[in-house]
């Protein structure tokens, strides 16, 4: 998020599966590109493979659901 509270997209990955090793590979490349600055907050969906890879690669990062998933779940659970 920048100083104007807007999200910044800094990478896109096209993947052929949604498994933990794939996400770990993506996150390892993010670390390589980002350098020594640790990621502080990661916004994603609540997929088990993603969350597990985040836990291993970024143990100190805060994990948050993206607003699209939050709104979808609110509409589904609280009609």
- 7 occurs within a structural domain: no
- 66 occurs within a structural domain: yes
Beta bridge partners of 64: 43
Total domains in the fold of the chain: 1
The whole domain housing 53 covers 20-77
- 3 occurs within a structural domain: no
Torsion of CA 37, 5, 60, 19, to 10 degrees: -90
In tens digits, what is the pLDDT along the chain, a chain of 79 residues? 678 878 777 778 899 999 999 999 998 888 888 776 777 888 888 788 989 999 998 899 898 888 888 888 888 888 7
Beta bridge partners of 42: 63
- 33 occurs within a structural domain: yes
Pick from 52, 67, 46: which is nearest to 1 by CA? 67
- 14 occurs within a structural domain: no
Cα 53 to the center of its chain, rounded Å: 10
- 59 occurs within a structural domain: yes
- 1 occurs within a structural domain: no
- 71 occurs within a structural domain: yes
- Return d(Cα 19, Cα 59) in angstroms, integer: 19
């Amino acid at each position: 998020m920048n100083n104007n509270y807007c999200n910044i997209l800094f990478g896109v990955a096209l993947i052929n599966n949604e498994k933990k090793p794939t996400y770990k590979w993506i996150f390892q490349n993010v670390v390589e590109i980002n350098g020594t600055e640790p990621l502080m907050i990661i916004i994603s969906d609540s997929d088990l493979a993603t969350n597990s890879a985040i836990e291993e690669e970024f143990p100190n990062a805060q994990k948050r659901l993206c607003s699209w998933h939050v709104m979808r779940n609110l509409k589904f659970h609280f009609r």
